[in-house]
Amino acid sequence: VSALISVHDMTGVVEFAEHLVGLGHDLISTGGTLATLREAGLSVRPVPDVTGFPEMLDGRVKTLHPAIHGGILARRDIPAHQQQLDDLGFDPIDIVVVNLYPFASTLAQGLDHESLVEQIDIGGPTLIRSAAKNIANVVVVVDPRDYDQMQTALHTNTLDIEFRNRLA
pLDDT (tens digit, 9 = 90+) per residue, 41-85?
999 999 999 999 988 888 778 888 999 999 999 999 999 999 999
Bridge partners (DSSP) of residue 6 are: 98
Contact 151, 121 (CB under 8 A): no
Mind listing the pLDDT tens digit for each residue in 140-153? 999 999 999 999 89
Q: Which percentage of the chain shows pLDDT scores above 90?
A: 64
Sequential DSSP letters for 134-146: TTTT-EEE--GGG
**How far apart, in whole angstroms, are the C-alpha atoms of residue 34 and residue 4?**
10
Contact 42, 60 (CB under 8 A): no
Domain count of the chain?
1
**How far apart, in whole angstroms, are the C-alpha atoms of residue 26 and residue 71?**
13
Task: Please indicate, yes or no, if residue 132 is contained in any of the structural domains.
Answer: yes
Identify the band that residue 87 occupies on the pLDDT scale cut at 50, 70 and 90. very high
Task: Please indicate, yes or no, if residue 24 is contained in any of the structural domains.
Answer: no
**Domain of residue 76, CATH code:** 3.40.50.1380
Domain of residue 150, residue span = 50-167
Task: Please indicate, yes or no, if residue 42 is contained in any of the structural domains.
Answer: no
CA distances 125 to 73, 101, 140, 160, Å, are 14, 10, 11, 23
Phi, psi of 2 (to 5 degrees): -115, 145
Task: Please indicate, yes or no, if residue 79 is contained in any of the structural domains.
Answer: yes
